């Protein structure tokens, strides 16, 4: 395996709404722990929002303002979850496919994985 990317995308925006990055090899540093905690909070809030969304959408008499608020909140949560996924994806080790003699086939699942 080759090392992961060196910069970590942080779960908050900097000045002028631009992404913030952390350059460190230490995942136990103060900023790394803070980012981990904020990511966990964002994911938890998104899960709670999704539960609430199912309830609101289950009511046929939901008000347009309520639906607009829900759509806005879901869009914000989705943006945060995508940022977390991107950040975590960039920190994964990159497999060295040439060491296995393979090309770009990617991971393979056994047929039993599909039922």
| Rg for the chain, CA atoms, rounded | 19
The pTM of this model reads 0.69
pLDDT at site 50: 94
pLDDT at residue 36 is higher than 80: yes
The values of phi and psi at residue 74, to 5°, are: -65, -40
Query: pLDDT of 2-18, one tens digit each?
Result: 455 578 899 999 999 99
Query: pLDDT of 48-90, one tens digit each?
Result: 999 999 999 999 999 999 999 999 999 999 999 999 999 988 8
């Amino acid at each position: 395996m080759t090392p992961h990317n060196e910069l970590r995308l942080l779960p908050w925006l900097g000045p002028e709404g631009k992404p913030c990055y952390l350059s460190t090899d230490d995942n136990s540093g103060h900023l790394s722990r803070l980012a981990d905690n904020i990511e966990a909070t964002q994911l938890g809030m998104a899960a709670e929002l999704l539960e609430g969304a199912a309830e609101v959408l289950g009511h046929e008499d939901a008000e347009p303002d309520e639906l607009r608020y829900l759509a806005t909140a879901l869009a914000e949560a989705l943006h945060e979850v995508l940022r977390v996924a991107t950040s975590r994806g960039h920190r994964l080790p990159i497999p060295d496919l040439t060491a296995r003699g393979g090309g770009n086939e990617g991971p393979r699942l056994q047929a039993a994985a599909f039922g």
